[in-house]
Structures are given as structure tokens and as C-alpha cells.
Structure 1
């Protein structure tokens, strides 16, 4: 029987070995979920939201142990792990309070005696999720999807198998019937069969562009809806009038959060020339003061990346960019899975640091002369998840919203997800939306009902 092992990226030691389930066991789990759906879809919204509130309570009760697990499996600093779990509780509370209104029948005046839109669950939804936010990525899908009356199966990244197992236990401990939420410890080559199975009604993926194209291809062949969040190459525009005293900490953390392993992180910094030199020095000063250490230490702000191979990938992107003329300003030291926070200047189109998503603590700094140049370069990417701008001229930034092609535009703040706002990208960053009302509407049948 095939197995997977989880490995602590900081100590390089094996944590635990897990057995992957057989095809027969997989089919049994899918059938169990399908049988449960026939009951779950008729459970009242009031009862579903009560269970979701219990999930939020358990998340808060267990936040330290979950954060420790994330620190061990993927190197997330433990304080950031605690914040992640608290955010998971927030998304549960949000849908517990608002799902009833979101899913209420929408009356439409027509020539019928009565006509309305009914929002009905689809059935079993497959979630394929990444390792970088092992609980948040799953919870922002599961909270609205289950509350809408669907059931869910999770194929999590193998490196965070422990988190995946705990997520199923979380829902069951909260009182959800068995089969409502199931973790599938399966091999990658089983995913196509899962998507092809008629029990699966739709798929959501957060991952790489390559993975997104493959999942979309399989789902399309089987006429199944997908929601895809495929990463970003977010631009951070810093104009001459930006208040660095107020914002430099936020600007720096926009890149370095989660050890640089965030799809919504600022990756390309487009800095206007008058403040360029000052910006570099202040950015450097910020990261020089970050405490580096063991992920389980409360003092650590930067730790290791999630694996040595991921750190090597970032190192290679930097090497290739420097071979094309980029300049090292600060950092660029690697020890196994640890990659030092790094600043690279003279970055141009055609270099990996400009063209590709760099999933690590490397800031690509690009000098621009004008606002127009900054906005043009911001959208000069095949990806379109989010962009941010720092300026005192907020009115001008608001007038330029249409110039930003991404799924989000943040003014004087780093791009971040919020349960109250829809989240998703454009272009090669994917399609569909998570969170807010839009998120709960992705996996329902918007059914027209007409009575005369």
C-alpha cells in the first residue's frame, strides 16, 4: 500500500507516515458522502449555521495546537499560525450570520402569480488545496459550501496531511454528520478518477497555473464547474508622494508574510524614482530587523520555507534573473529550507523575477519614472490576482481603478482576503470567486421557479 510522509522543513526530520487509501476505499467514501447529501440538503439553514458556529468555537479552543501542527508541517511561524486559525473562525462566524440571507429565495416580479430564484445545493464538491495556508484555504471553501447544503471532499497537499486529517476531525467533533466533510488521502494519479466520478458535481482548486489547467481540462471534459485560484504576481506601486513613515512596515510585510509563500503577496515593487533610494534603504532596514528562528518560537517572524526543494526553486529564479542583469541589493543566502529575505534591483521584463510568480521571500524592485509607467507595468503580467498602490492622492488612484486588470486593487494597504469581500483573480490567476455572497453562490443551482 502506498504511503506518504510529512517532514518538518526546519529540522528536516520525518513527522509521520500516512497510508493512502485504495480505489475501493475511495469509492466507499464517495458513496458515503453521496448518501449523506440526500439528508444534509434538507437540513435547515438554522441547524447548519449552528454547527458552523460550533466549528468556530472549536477553532479558537484549538488554535495553539493547530498552529503548532502548521509550524511543524510547513514551517509557518507559530504566531502567524494562530492568526490563521482566528481568521478561520471569522469566516465561520461570517457565514453563520449571513448564510440565511444569502440563500433566501429571491422574489422576481413577472407575469406569473409567483416567481423567484431558489438556491439549491449541487451535491458533493471536491476541493484540491495547497500547503501554504493549510487551514484557511480549506475553511474559506468549506464554510460556505457546507452551509449551502453541499457535502465536501478534500484532497490536500500531501506535505500537510496532518492538517488534512485534523480538518475532518474538526467538522465531525463539531457535530456534522459523517460524510459531510471528508479528507481523502489519495495519490495525484487518483484525482482524474475522482473528478470523473458522477458523484462529484464541481471542483475548486487553489494551486499553480499548471495544476489549474490540468484540473480545468479534466473537469471540462466531464462538464463540471470549476473555481480556480492560481496564484499571482502582484504589483505594489509606490509613488513619490507615498507616506513611507506610515506604510513601509505594511509594504515590506506584504512581501515577507508567511515566509514569502503567499499568492497575494507583493512580488513586483514599482517605485517612482524620487523616493527609490530611500525606499530601498527603508525596505532593507525593515527586513534586517526581522527575528529569524524556529517556527515554534513566538519570537520568530521569518523561519524556513515549506521545503528545501521550494527554496531551491526560488534560488534558481534569482540566479537566472541575475544572469540577465538583475542586481543583488541584500540577502540571497540559503541554508537547506531557509531562504534569507532578499532584495533584487534592476529587474526587467524577460527575467523570472518579473515574469513568474516567485513563491519565497524575494522582493523584485523596479524603478519607474511616471505614474503611467507604473500602472502599465502593473498589468504587464499573465497573472491578475491583485495589485496595491501607496500614494497620498487617493482620488487619482480611485480614478485609475479600471486600469488595474486584477481581481483586487488595494489603496494604501496590502492585498488581503476578507470574508466580507469576494476574492479571486483574472487572466492566468484563475476564475470564480470565494468569500462574501459571491463565494456561497459558486456551488448552488440558481433555479428559476415560476407559478401561474
Structure 2
């Protein structure tokens, strides 16, 4: 079987990658096991030296790696380069902080007692195509700095990125087997999860993929972290700075052509300001230029695959049939989907109920503050959200009421190495990033000495 990388703008085949045989996969697993036996004995200084070298290489090659991202999944070149830079920053962050994050913790007891953090072994990662470098380095940097090793199953359309990441790890001096990308098909996933060599699974992807992998992990009693779908609420209250809110709303929805779990998707606006905000929001969206992602005057590239564009067209069509009103955009040419805004979306509309993975923004009208928060919470997903109000204390109070893993007040929703990231409800469980994230795949071992 062959995985094909297809440039989403030109539809040209730019790479073909063979799927591993079962024998080849078995060899990769064995290599991972051998690598862990050595890697777990290394000290933090040795790991940090290599992780900083990896960060250096990513920055040094950011132009060619950014171009690789653009060619494989379609985001504009500047966004691809920025993704590589952010990945490098995460490597430096854990190189600088892993040791103190994992220092022994002592307890106030009549006897000597402490917790120590031991690496588990091989962590199996299943990663998506929308941020092909960031999603990988987001988990891999802390996992490897903690003394674990990892096996990556990347999305089939970005295998070129997966190979480039593996090559960078090797060039940075990491021993063979510490980071391996494995080209496997779905039927082979269970054999990896079942392997005694694998002690944890992390997945970023769809709700359906997460449910399937979590069930297998439960079958074999393996620790999991799941970052799944999202339909983030962007709540605009009466006292918000509407110009700033509309500017950030357009950025939040249309960044990466709207292909992000964490980007705003449901724009919930109180009735006193909905007309003015809607007008400003439509202006910002209309000004975006969608087209060839390699052109410097383009703000948004194509969707990553034709099936994704077709699904978004289906959702838009049915949303309009169910009473929504088209305000801006709505046209599609193959993978090229115009930035689109629809209004008068209610809680029973397909565009509200389902995750829309692309440049489709929906406007939802709320009676007041309480209604806006109720609408925000009335969803199966709970990844992140934003609240816009000039009263920061009000924003904090309402943020405590939002059902989500992350809440941002007057800011673009984003992930940050220093802050825990993850969701609740159908958006998954567990946390990545920060001190919490690095401890997800550790044996927190208590030692008690009388």
C-alpha cells in the first residue's frame, strides 16, 4: 500500500510513501524498546543539549520546512514558517525546564516520603495533518525530555513532514529509535497499542478516531491523552471593543484556513451589539484573499483535501436549508473554499451541532449575558473559548462558568508551552504542555522510608 502526498492547491502528487510490512513494524518496535533502555539512563543535561540542537536545526531550516508544510497541506507559507518556529520554541522550553518540572517532591509526614518521576517507555502518537510540525513537537519534546521514546503515526497526507521531523531528530544527535515515524495503516494500529513495548498513547484528531483508539487502549490497559474535536465559542458581550473583537474573530476563524480544533467556530453575540459586530466581522472576512498559498498577498490557502472541502460544502448547504442566512462567501473551487460567514444560526442547526473544519464562521444571536454563556455551554465539545468584554473582572467571573479546558478573555485562543492545554466532554481528556503535560506519561512513584 502507498500513501500519497497531494498538493491541495495544484492537486499534483508530490510524494509516495510505502506502508510498513508487519515485519518492518515489528523491527521498529524492537528498536524503540532498545532505545528506551539507554535513553532513560541519560541525564537532563544530555537530553537538553540535543533538544536545543533540534530547536536550532528547525530554525535554520524553517524556510524549507515551511515550504514542505505548505506543499503537503496547503497553509500559506508564512503560517508554515511560523509553525516551525513555534515548534522550536517548545523544544527550547522543555530543554530549559524539564529537570525542575520533574524534580523529586517531598511530603510533610512523620516519615520520609517523596514522589519521583520515572519514564514509562515508548509512547505511541497518532497525529493529524493540520499542524504537521507543531502537533508532533508539542507532545514529543516533553515526552523525550522526560526520558521516554516515541513512535509517530502521522496523517497519510503529510508523511513528508513526518520524515523531515525524524531526520531532524537524528541530525540533532538523538540515538536511533528515540523518535521514529512509522507509516502504518489503520488495521496495524491495534498491534502497536497491544505491544508490551508501548506504555502510552497520545492522539490528536477527530472524536471518532479518539473513541476508537481509547477503546483499544482500554482493552490493553494503556494510559492515553486525547485532544479531539472542538467547536469553540467566541462570546461577544455588550461592552466589548467591537472593532478589536471583529479583527481577532476573523483571525481566529480563518487562520490555517479554519482547519484547527482550537480556533473559534461559534460566534455568540448579545442582541444589543450583534448588528454592529456582524457588520464589522463581515468586513474583515470579505477582505481576506484566498488562493495560491505561495503568493505573498494571499491570507488563506486551500483546504488540505478535496473530501474536507466537500464535507464543508455539504454542511454549509444544509445550514442554509435549515434557516441560516449567507452573509459573505460560500463559493468553492475544488479545495479552494471562500472565507464564509452565515447568520441566524440556532442551536439545532447542523453548523452549530457539528464541528465545521474550514473557513465557515457562524453567527448566533443571544438575548443577554446569561443566554450567551448557556449557548456556549450547550455543546458536546469543550476545548477552548473566548469572552470579549471591557470589564476584565466580569470576563474572569464568566470564564469560570464556561465549560472548556481553556478560556481566553479579550484574546486570540492559542496554545502556549507554559500553559496546560486540553479539553473536556467530547473534546478529550488529559493535558499537553506546561508542567502538567510532561507528567502525563510518567510513573509518579511514591517512596516511603521509615
Give the distance between the partners of 1:401 and 1:318, measured in 2 at CA. Answer: 30
Give the distance between the partners of 1:81 and 1:401, measured in 2 at CA. Answer: 31
Give the distance between the partners of 2:246 and 2:383, measured in 1 at CA. Answer: 22
Once the two structures are overlaid, the 10-residue window that deviates more, 99-108 or 132-141, is: 99-108
For residues 190-242 of structure 1, give each alpha carbon's deviation from its aligned partner in whole angstroms, at most 9, with x where no partner exists. Answer: 00111011111010000000000000000000000100000211010011211
For residues 71-129 of structure 1, give each alpha carbon's deviation from its aligned partner in whole angstroms, at most 9, with x where no partner exists. Answer: 100001000111111110111111111101001111223222x3211100000000000
After superposition, the CA RMSD in angstroms is: 0.9
**Alignment size in residue pairs:** 450
Matched, 1:144 2:161: no
Aligned partner (choices 435, 438, 442) of residue 437 of structure 1: 435
In structure 1, the residue matched to 2:311 is: 313
In structure 1, the residue matched to 2:80 is: 81
Once the two structures are overlaid, the 10-residue window that deviates more, 215-224 or 314-323, is: 314-323
Q: How far does residue 451 in structure 1 lie from its aligned partner after superposition?
A: 1.9
SS in 2 for 1:228: strand
Runs (4 or more) in structure 1 with deviation over 4 Å come to none
Give the distance between the partners of 1:51 and 1:298, measured in 2 at CA. Answer: 34
In structure 1, the residue matched to 2:333 is: 335
Give the distance between the partners of 2:149 and 2:294, measured in 1 at CA. Answer: 34
Q: How far does residue 446 in structure 1 lie from its aligned partner after superposition?
A: 0.2
Give the distance between the partners of 1:67 and 1:300, measured in 2 at CA. Answer: 16
Aligned partner (choices 358, 361, 366) of residue 359 of structure 2: 361
For residues 234-293 of structure 1, give each alpha carbon's deviation from its aligned partner in whole angstroms, at most 9, with x where no partner exists. Answer: 010011211123332112111111000010111010111122122122111112222322
Return the TM-score normalized by structure 1: 0.98
Aligned partner (choices 176, 191, 198) of residue 196 of structure 2: 198
In structure 1, the residue matched to 2:90 is: 91
**1:110-129 counterparts in 2 under 5 A?**
110-112=109-111, 114-129=112-127
For residues 167-201 of structure 1, give each alpha carbon's deviation from its aligned partner in whole angstroms, at most 9, with x where no partner exists. Answer: 11110000000000000011111001110111110
Extract unaligned runs of 5+ from structure 1.
none
Matched, 1:53 2:52: yes
In structure 2, the residue matched to 1:28 is: 27
Is the Cα–Cα contact under 8 Å of residues 233 and 385 in structure 2 kept in the other structure?
yes
Give the distance between the partners of 2:320 and 2:280, measured in 1 at CA. Answer: 22
For residues 322-352 of structure 1, give each alpha carbon's deviation from its aligned partner in whole angstroms, at most 9, with x where no partner exists. Answer: 1111111111000000110001111111211
Extract unaligned runs of 5+ from structure 2.
none
Give the distance between the partners of 2:195 and 2:123, measured in 1 at CA. Answer: 11
SS in 2 for 1:403: coil
Give the distance between the partners of 1:416 and 1:241, measured in 2 at CA. Answer: 23
Give the distance between the partners of 1:246 and 1:252, measured in 2 at CA. Answer: 10
